[in-house]
Structure 1
Amino acid sequence: MSAICGGREGARRTTSVVIQSRASWRAVQRVGKHVTRLAPTAITSDELTDWLIETALRYVGKLILVPALPSLPLPLPFTLPQPLAYVISNSPHLQLRPEKPGCPLVALRAVR
């Protein structure tokens, strides 16, 4: 840790910045020295859900199983309550790829 953040002071500052970032996303609430996790925000917009899935795909760099999308730690302060296969099938940026029955993969659509 000290190689990444420096000594104790560097690690303390880095931790503080990460917690502040999470607080600005309303994922946590900071009261004094106590930090509590807040309830995740449900994303009901197809466009925003599409964007979050695309972001996750670009971050991971490989195909993702559709049933695994809600459990990924990437879209942390959000939940995806919509039927994801439906959102993906209507997306201009994403495509479904059949892997095995009941477990399709999501991929970025090829740019033409």
Structure 2
Amino acid sequence: MADEITFDDFLKVDIRVGRVTRAEPYPEARKPAIKMWVDFGPELGEKKTSAQVTAHYTPETLIGRQVVAVVNFPPRQIGRFMSEILVLGLSDSQGDIVLLGPDKDVPVGERMH
């Protein structure tokens, strides 16, 4: 179990839903990954990331999918690609990542409550 945090600590993490608008293989990555561009609506616009999700997804299956991401981390260099967000997921029984997303369509940019 992680360290206990306060509600104010939780509110500092900006978690929002976005829609994948573009996705490409990332063969230069050390571990198999996919580059994704995610639209968070007019307030935040489009942000990009790299995610190790190749066991369950292809670039084609990601396009149009709603995903949940932390949008207020500083950008991070992943190889030659600058990642601006952290898309959230869980490990399945094999250790492969399954993306988190709403089970019903919601407006892009909606912040998690």
TM-score by length of 2: 0.24
Q: Which structure has more RCO (C-alpha within 8 Å, separation ≥ 6)?
A: 2
TM-score by length of 1: 0.24
Considering fraction of residues, name the structure with more strand.
2
Larger radius of gyration: 1
Considering fraction of residues, name the structure with more helix.
1
